[in-house]
């Protein structure tokens, strides 16, 4: 169960990525049972209202201040406390809500490799989008850069441990959906993985 609301400021201490990632206020997280076990990365999509982009509502929702009267769809979200580690917006902006060492509340009932409670050991990344709407080039670029960096930080992750929400909650969840181009994403990620490190980066 989610823990009581937190009051202290979130500690977004290192590691910090070599690209811009803005941290945002969010209290929807708690401790991982084993902070050393970060071995799955889950890709989602979200848009509020559905299929409507560039609204402030995802940020409000994860920040616990969504006005549930702002749109009829939001009535069902009253009292719902969820989060993801990061959201990648349509323009490729990456906003971080939960430190990677902490447990974000994104996967719900889920199963991977015989283990349930995937939030315990996964990183959740939301793409602002909808199942049947193509994601933007900027989002693929940002996602592959972020995943590449996370793979370098967490040796327990691996490209084959990057999956969609629908893969770990089949029949219950459909995101990131058929519009998400896995082939293209995996190709971009492989290019990042094989590129020589940039100047100033450790080998």
Contact (CB, 8 A) for 112 and 165: no
> In terms of CB distance, is 117 or 191 closer to Zn ion?
117
Compute how many other C-beta atoms are within 10 angstroms of the C-beta atom of residue 5. 9
CB of 106 to Zn ion, least distance (A): 6
**C-alpha separations of 68 from 52, 54, 157 in Å:** 16, 18, 37
Among the residue ranges 5-13, 42-50, 82-90, 144-152, the one whose residues contact Zn ion (CB under 5 A): 42-50
Note whether 175 binds Zn ion by CB under 5 A: yes
**C-alpha separations of 79 from 12, 35, 98 in Å:** 25, 27, 19
Residue 191 is a catalytic residue: no
Among the residue ranges 54-62, 78-86, 95-103, 171-179, the one whose residues contact Zn ion (CB under 5 A): 171-179
Q: Using CB under 5 A, which of 44, 102, 103, 148 touches Zn ion?
A: 44
> In terms of CB distance, is 125 or 151 closer to Zn ion?
125
Longest dimension (CA), the chain: 51
Q: Using CB under 5 A, which of 40, 165, 185, 188 touches Zn ion?
A: 165
| Closest by CA position to 99, among listed 35, 164, 5, 48 | 35
Q: Active-site residues: which are they?
A: 126
Where does this chain bind Zn ion (CB under 5 A)?
44, 165, 175
């Amino acid at each position: 169960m989610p823990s009581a609301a937190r009051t202290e400021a979130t500690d977004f201490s290192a590691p910090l990525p070599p690209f811009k990632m803005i941290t945002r206020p969010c209290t929807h997280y708690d401790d991982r049972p084993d902070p050393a076990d970060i071995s799955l990365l889950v890709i989602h999509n979200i848009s509020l209202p559905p299929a409507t982009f560039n609204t402030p509502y995802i940020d409000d929702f994860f920040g616990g201040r969504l006005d549930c009267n702002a749109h009829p769809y939001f009535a069902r979200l009253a009292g719902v406390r969820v989060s993801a580690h990061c959201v990648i917006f349509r323009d490729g902006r990456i906003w971080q809500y939960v430190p990677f060492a902490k447990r974000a509340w994104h996967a719900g009932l889920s199963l991977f490799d015989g283990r349930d409670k995937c939030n315990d050991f996964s990183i959740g990344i939301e793409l602002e989008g909808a199942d049947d709407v193509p994601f933007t080039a900027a989002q693929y670029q940002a996602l592959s850069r972020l995943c590449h960096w996370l793979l370098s930080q967490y040796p327990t992750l691996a490209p084959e441990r990057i999956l969609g929400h629908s893969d770990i909650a089949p029949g219950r969840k459909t995101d990131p959906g058929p519009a998400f181009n896995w082939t293209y994403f995996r190709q971009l990620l492989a290019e990042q993985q094989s590129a020589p490190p940039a100047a100033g980066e450790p080998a």
